[in-house]
Chains A and B, each alone.
Chain A
Amino acid sequence: MYCFRMKMMVSGWAGRLARPSRHQFSHLTSRLITKDAAARHLTAGPQHQHHICAKALYTAHPPLTSPAASRGLVFGGKVLREPARCLHTGEGKHDQSSSSSNACSATCESTVVRDVLEYWSRTLAAADVPEAHLAAQHIVAHVLGVTRSKVQSDGTAATTLTGKQVEEVERMMMCRLERMPLQYILREWDFHGITLKVVPPVFIPRPETEQLVELAITTLKQLEAPKPRVLEFCCGSGAISLALLHALPQVECVAVDQSRHAVRLTEANAAQLGLEERLTVVMGKVTVDARPPLPHNTYDFMVSNPPYVLRKDLMELQPEIMMYEDLRALDGGKDGLEVIKAVLHQAHHLLLPGGRLLLEVDPCHPYLLPAWLEKQNLDLKLVKIHQDFGKIGRFMEFMKNP
């Protein structure tokens, strides 16, 4: 079944540009998680086949246990035959995966945590899902409402799941089999000092960005302003702004994003963390010569993790990102600099003299940007390029000339 859907997906986007096809996938995504709500936000026209598949997934609670399931899926009285060959995994792998699900159907019926973990790590691994073991642990821990380290301990591993919990685990594992990012499945993830809600299709914060926050905190601590005003472009889930507000009680933030989902999620996260009083969220697109109306005319500090992936790299992303995340949050145009240039132009207008701008960029940008900056008539100069933990130049610090 998984391979069947993959084939449709692959044929769905192959040969097209990533952007238009994305909407179909995000439609699917929302069906997977919330039956009704998400469909309202996303407007792309449903494709019939995708629709069926999504529904099939959603209702397929213990699909692998029935004998029919190992051959294909009984759906609406009609058996959907598995395709003979899977594009993604190849035939050999496919056979292996179906046979392993046959073999495991007995263990799957066990509701002991240890067996459930074992079964699903094997199933996920067989389906080539990366970090299979970790995902299984995270999901079971989430359903049990305990920490992951506790799931590993003997005491918890010997307990049994209730029927409802088994169902929940199965639903989540099916999502993971469909390569939905774990963060979306759990609907929350930790970032720096806070726990954020993450909802598809809003961009999931990456660990590199935690380093960006660290750098921003160091810079903000050196500022003399008693109540520094911070502006963040492309806020996504609000991760950077909220982490800063959480760490530094004197800071006020304005967060801007063009996506309605992102803006809503940022607001929801702010409310959940009790930080909404110091955060203003603005919806609007930032370009070289236009920006949405902002509450202040000048800012002490700016920070941004703009879309910076080069368009040629977009086609090689993991399925997790490709199918589920809003690609507008990653697509930086041909050279990955489209939004970065816009942010720099806006920084020229909005930063106070001596104010700093911190950007997360693609590793090739530290080579490209200085040359471009020289040609522009901007009041900014490059101060430093910071490396990430992989020793790659990832963060660029600019300063507005005093």
Chain B
Amino acid sequence: MEGKVGSEVRAEKGVSEIKPEVKIMRQILQIGFSQTKTHFLHMREFCLTCKHVASQPQRTISHLYNNRSATLPRLYRTILRQSNERARLISNYTVNRGISKSSQLENYEALSLENVEVQKYLRKLREEHRAALHGEDEASTQAARSQAPLMRLLDQVERLWSDIEELCALAESNEGDKEMQDMAREELQEVKTKLYGLQEEVLCALIPEEVMDDRTVVVEVSAGVGGQEAMLFCQDVFNMYLSYVQHRGWQEEVTEYETTDIGGLRHGSIVVSGDSVYSSLKYEGGTHRVQRVPKTEKAGRVHTSTVSVAVLPQPLEIDIQLSEKDMKMETKRASGAGGQSVNTTDSAVRIVHLPTGLSVESQSERSQHHNKDKCLKKLRALLYQQQLDNNTQNYNSNRKLQVGAKGRSEKIRTYNFPQDRVTDHRLGVSMHNLATFMGGTDTFHDLVSQLVEEGHRETLQEIIYGIKT
């Protein structure tokens, strides 16, 4: 790490002597800053990977973003200014990381009601609503009813807009006295704040509620690549989720906890239920990477290992209908007379779902009935997962956060102990003080809310720009 810093210092010296290059770099930098937040995030992510992080004070990325023009730390500027080469590297880097695949989304402006696209979309909604009101059949009346709250909001917005127009006219007109103009200006300010508040509400209302947001979920944590160290970290991650669940006041039940001799965890799962459990945890699914010197390591080398996390919403019985004739149930019960004339204790049950060929087995319970129940639950969860996977495949593949919702194979977060930081690769956000983060309280919650926010924004984007593959 030190070596790298040194080389950069040398590079910096070389660069500062050539003035035209600095000029170009400044231009690049300006372009960079006028770009979107995402782009900015990539740059910062890049800076972090250059390992200049240790010296940085702890800041959240939104803080930095908001004050980007004023208080951007000098260090970033110097790094970014170094050369054209570096700029190329940046773009290469972001492309390689697969982050900037969402270029369509990247160039979006912050969504607001003034946005042309948003207005277009709202107009469309209005027309639909009007059509639904005139419609006679059941479906259209229902649609009209569900849209009514949104329409009420839009009415308010329109009233405010016309207010603003009038006030503007009043404020700018040369007629009338100065006092009137001042009053109008004041009022204009008020109305604008009101409009701003309303805008948030409208945008929130545009996001369709997901059916599964409050659904009970199973959080499964399993050790991945990295042997014993992975298991040790697996336990840390498991504890992190457990304390986060407790921090949020959700109900938790540890259903599996498979330990190893030296204190690691091979596989653990928690059933979590409570308000908006799934909506908060859905972005946690994926591969979590850890870089640290393991307890077991004698030579002090840093190891990289992984832990995979799956967040599975539990289906209700109505989600997955199982009919008796689709299932073949097998028991260990001796064939033949059965009933009273046989006394066995093997209560294992295996159920084969004929249409899909899925088979589930349970033998942990003493009662065959319990085992059958367990099998059916497992089967439902499996079928549900299949169904969800099929649905998500239909979604736009450009969604960054989808990694968390779909596959469990992609790396979503890195915990780097030597640098005491955690980086979320989808947001490009880094946070410091790992101990607090792994404590699973406020710091962790910050990241979760950022992910949820980002998820909302993406959903909104999709709705408004209608990006569909």
Which of B331, B341, B346, B370 lies in contact with A309, CB distance below 8 A?
A: B341
Query: A197-230 CB contact bits vs B (8 Å, 1 = yes)?
Result: 0000001101110110110000000000000000
| B68 contacts partner chain A, Cβ-Cβ < 8 Å | no
| A49 contacts partner chain B, Cβ-Cβ < 8 Å | no
CB contacts (< 8 Å) of B259 on chain A: these are: 153-155
Pair B340/A318 contact, Cβ less than 8 Å? no
Pair B339/A362 contact, Cβ less than 8 Å? yes
| A99 contacts partner chain B, Cβ-Cβ < 8 Å | no
| B94 contacts partner chain A, Cβ-Cβ < 8 Å | no
CB contacts (< 8 Å) of B368 on chain A: these are: 207, 210
| A192 contacts partner chain B, Cβ-Cβ < 8 Å | yes
Known: A134-B345, A149-B364, A207-B368. A389 touches B331 (CB 8 A): yes
Binds B, one of A13-21, A162-170, A181-189, A293-301: A181-189
Pair B367/A362 contact, Cβ less than 8 Å? no
Pair A207/B337 contact, Cβ less than 8 Å? no
Total contacts A-B at CB 8 Å? 97
Which of B329, B340, B345 lies in contact with A330, CB distance below 8 A?
A: B340
A153 to B369 CA separation, bound complex (whole angstroms): 24
Query: A359-376 CB contact bits vs B (8 Å, 1 = yes)?
Result: 010110000000000000
Most chain-A Cβ atoms within 10 A of its Cβ — which of B260, B339, B368? B339
CB contacts (< 8 Å) of B337 on chain A: these are: 313, 362-363
Pair B333/A190 contact, Cβ less than 8 Å? no
| A238 contacts partner chain B, Cβ-Cβ < 8 Å | no
CB contacts (< 8 Å) of B343 on chain A: these are: 181, 183, 204, 206, 318, 320-321, 325
A264 to B344 CA separation, bound complex (whole angstroms): 25
| A308 contacts partner chain B, Cβ-Cβ < 8 Å | yes
Which of B340, B344, B345, B369 lies in contact with A192, CB distance below 8 A?
A: B369
Pair B338/A191 contact, Cβ less than 8 Å? no
Query: B255-270 CB contact bits vs A (8 Å, 1 = yes)?
Result: 0001111000000000
Which of B333, B340, B365, B370 lies in contact with A308, CB distance below 8 A?
A: B340
Pair A134/B346 contact, Cβ less than 8 Å? yes
- The majority secondary structure among interface residues of chain B is loop
A148 to B345 CA separation, bound complex (whole angstroms): 13
A181 to B342 CA separation, bound complex (whole angstroms): 11
Give A147's nearest chain B residue, CB to CB. Answer: B364
Pair A192/B341 contact, Cβ less than 8 Å? no
Pair A207/B364 contact, Cβ less than 8 Å? no
CB contacts (< 8 Å) of A158 on chain B: these are: 261
* Distance from B168 Cβ to chain A, minimum over Cβ atoms (Å): 68
* Distance from A239 Cβ to chain B, minimum over Cβ atoms (Å): 11
* Distance from B260 Cβ to chain A, minimum over Cβ atoms (Å): 7
A395 to B135 CA separation, bound complex (whole angstroms): 54
Pair A208/B338 contact, Cβ less than 8 Å? yes
| B366 contacts partner chain A, Cβ-Cβ < 8 Å | yes
| A23 contacts partner chain B, Cβ-Cβ < 8 Å | no
* Distance from A173 Cβ to chain B, minimum over Cβ atoms (Å): 15
Pair B258/A153 contact, Cβ less than 8 Å? yes
Pair A389/B365 contact, Cβ less than 8 Å? no
Give B341's nearest chain A residue, CB to CB. Answer: A309
* Distance from A22 Cβ to chain B, minimum over Cβ atoms (Å): 15
Give A324's nearest chain B residue, CB to CB. Answer: B343
Known: A148-B364, A191-B367. A392 touches B338 (CB 8 A): yes
* Distance from B228 Cβ to chain A, minimum over Cβ atoms (Å): 13
| B71 contacts partner chain A, Cβ-Cβ < 8 Å | no
Known: A154-B260, A158-B261. A307 touches B340 (CB 8 A): yes
CB contacts (< 8 Å) of B338 on chain A: these are: 206, 208, 363, 388, 390, 392, 394
* Distance from B107 Cβ to chain A, minimum over Cβ atoms (Å): 53
| A317 contacts partner chain B, Cβ-Cβ < 8 Å | yes
| Contact residues, A309-348 vs B (CB, 8 A) | 309, 313, 317-318, 320-321, 325, 329-330
* Distance from A109 Cβ to chain B, minimum over Cβ atoms (Å): 23
Give B334's nearest chain A residue, CB to CB. Answer: A390
| B443 contacts partner chain A, Cβ-Cβ < 8 Å | no
* Distance from B262 Cβ to chain A, minimum over Cβ atoms (Å): 11
* Distance from A302 Cβ to chain B, minimum over Cβ atoms (Å): 19
| B385 contacts partner chain A, Cβ-Cβ < 8 Å | no
CB contacts (< 8 Å) of B339 on chain A: these are: 206, 208, 308-309, 360, 362-363, 388, 394
Query: A123-138 CB contact bits vs B (8 Å, 1 = yes)?
Result: 0000000110011001
Which of B333, B340, B345, B364 lies in contact with A183, CB distance below 8 A?
A: B345
Most chain-A Cβ atoms within 10 A of its Cβ — which of B337, B341, B343? B343
Which of A155, A190, A394 lies in contact with B370, CB distance below 8 A?
A: A190
Pair B369/A207 contact, Cβ less than 8 Å? yes
CB contacts (< 8 Å) of A330 on chain B: these are: 340-341
A308 to B339 CA separation, bound complex (whole angstroms): 9
* Distance from B132 Cβ to chain A, minimum over Cβ atoms (Å): 40
Query: B345-374 CB contact bits vs A (8 Å, 1 = yes)?
Result: 111000000000000000011111110000
A155 to B364 CA separation, bound complex (whole angstroms): 17
Pair A190/B367 contact, Cβ less than 8 Å? yes
Which of A208, A318, A329, A390 lies in contact with B335, CB distance below 8 A?
A: A390
A23 to B370 CA separation, bound complex (whole angstroms): 35
A387 to B298 CA separation, bound complex (whole angstroms): 64
Give B373's nearest chain A residue, CB to CB. Answer: A193
A325 to B341 CA separation, bound complex (whole angstroms): 11
Give A329's nearest chain B residue, CB to CB. Answer: B340
CB contacts (< 8 Å) of A182 on chain B: these are: 345
Pair B342/A135 contact, Cβ less than 8 Å? no
CB contacts (< 8 Å) of B365 on chain A: these are: 190
* Distance from B358 Cβ to chain A, minimum over Cβ atoms (Å): 19
Query: B299-337 CB contact bits vs A (8 Å, 1 = yes)?
Result: 000000000000000000000000000000101010101
Pair B344/A131 contact, Cβ less than 8 Å? yes
Pair A210/B367 contact, Cβ less than 8 Å? yes
6 A-B pairs whose Cβ atoms sit less than 8 Å apart in the complex: A131-B346, A190-B370, A203-B340, A207-B331, A207-B333, A392-B338
If A149-B364, A206-B342, A207-B347 are given as contacts, then 12 extra A-B residue pairs at C-beta distance below 8 Å, sorted by A number, are: A134-B346, A148-B364, A181-B345, A182-B345, A189-B366, A189-B367, A190-B366, A206-B338, A308-B340, A325-B343, A388-B339, A390-B333
List 10 tightest A-B contacts by C-beta distance, closest first: A190-B367, A207-B368, A190-B366, A210-B369, A149-B364, A182-B345, A330-B340, A192-B369, A309-B341, A320-B343
